[in-house]
Amino acid sequence: MSADLPSYDELPDGASWHVWPGNEVYGTLNLLTDERARAAASLVQTGQTFALNWDMELPDPPLFGRGAFEHEIVAGTTHRDDVLHHWNTQSSSQWDGLRHVFHPVRGNYGGVADEEHGMHFWAQRGIVGRGVLVDIGRWREANGKPLRMDYADAIELDELDACLDAQGVALEPGDVMLLRTGWIEFYESLSHDERVALADDLATPGIRPGRATAAWLWNKHIAALAADNPAVELMPFSPELSQEERRAGWADVENRGELFGHINFLPLLGIPLGEMFNLGALAAACAADGRYACMFTSAPLNLRHGVASPPNALAIR
């Protein structure tokens, strides 16, 4: 716990809107100070660099009903250009920006008007800090309960704590938490037909939605959370509930975050969410030498008022 930040229980209605007055467009990225960037640079020992963006054309077909883009090469007399048609910034590795999900009653994070948020704020500032890999996929497998990649297998908070303990690393204020389940490796092992079937009926492991998870993340005072699965949280949302219970929970707009964690994480707490980060090679290197902290950098698209962006992320060890 950082002494100058409130605990989750001290946040009015579970929202951190008052914590960074005038700088709400950054959310918890406000924790990425110059001092933390310098400290992250000191973690570089070998210079080994891992690019965390996945292939832009994966998953194929795209998930959540998003369309595939067309890559056109435009040739001139002495040059060529790339043109992407119908490209969705959330079709592959991505940051969910603070415009992506709004609270059904309160709106966007910090009470900032939707059109006044945007990915360009993050891009112009840059994202640099200490990254901490939480290899829950490897930890679950080592403990005899491997994650089911085609099922809404919930990652519990005590498992995250136990995984961090086993890795010998603790989350510190301002860290970028990198959560590896192993989902990307699973996806890449599938045939085309299996990928089509998965897109039609998506089920993946992930963290649980709800206030307990929101409190855990906030009280760690991380700057951002990125995972290798499609939604950070498990899919489908709250699978233990019946359709009738899910409908009733969704109708309770003030408590909808109990079903859909994005509502707690983005518009209430301002925690950027990364999805489908390619963490497999980084995880193998961390497991090989036992160092799970690294320097993390990300340069989102400088897209004015953008909702989301590929992370253009690197982990440097």
**Burial of 3 from C-beta contacts in 10 A (0-12 / 13-18 / 19+):** exposed
**219 token code pair:** 């009280």
- Cβ atoms of 268 and 15 within 8 Å: the answer is yes
- pLDDT number for residue 253: 87
Mean pLDDT along residues 183-211: 97
Using alpha carbons only, what angle is made at residue 218 by residues 180 and 284, rounded to the nearest 5 degrees? 15
Distances in Å between the Cα of 92 and the Cα atoms of 63, 178, 221, 308, 316 are 9, 16, 27, 11, 22
Residue 114 per-residue DSSP state: G
pLDDT, mean over the chain:
96
- Cβ atoms of 231 and 274 within 8 Å: the answer is no
Q: What percent of the chain has pLDDT over 90?
A: 91
Tell me the per-residue pLDDT of 272-301, one tens digit each, with 9 for 90 and over.
999 999 999 999 999 999 999 999 999 999
Pairing of strands 49-51, 313-316: antiparallel
**Burial of 21 from C-beta contacts in 10 A (0-12 / 13-18 / 19+):** exposed
Helix (H) or strand (E) holding 221: none
- pLDDT number for residue 1: 43
- Full DSSP string of 244-297: HHHHHHHH-GGGGGGT-THHIIIIIT---EEES---HHHHHHHHHH---EEEEE
Closest to 231 in 3D by CA, of 56, 101, 127, 52: 101
- pLDDT number for residue 241: 83
**285 token code pair:** 């290197």
Give this prediction's pTM.
Answer: 0.96
**Is the predicted pLDDT of residue 97 greater than 60, yes or no?**
yes
Q: Please enumerate in sequence order all residues whose Cβ is within 8 A of that of 234, keeping only pairs 6 or more positions apart, or say none.
A: 152, 153, 154, 155, 204, 205, 206, 207, 208
Tell me the per-residue pLDDT of 66-87, one tens digit each, with 9 for 90 and over.
999 999 999 988 999 999 999 9
- pLDDT number for residue 146: 98
**Burial of 146 from C-beta contacts in 10 A (0-12 / 13-18 / 19+):** middle
* Range list of H helices, 28-77: 34-41
- pLDDT number for residue 3: 56
Q: Report the alpha-carbon distance of residue 150 to residue 152 in Å, rounded.
A: 7
Tell me the per-residue pLDDT of 104-163, one tens digit each, with 9 for 90 and over.
999 999 999 999 999 999 999 999 999 999 999 999 999 999 999 999 999 999 999 999
Tell me the per-residue pLDDT of 204-249, one tens digit each, with 9 for 90 and over.
999 999 999 999 999 999 999 999 999 999 999 877 888 888 888 8
- Cβ atoms of 156 and 211 within 8 Å: the answer is no
Closest to 282 in 3D by CA, of 197, 192, 167, 196: 167
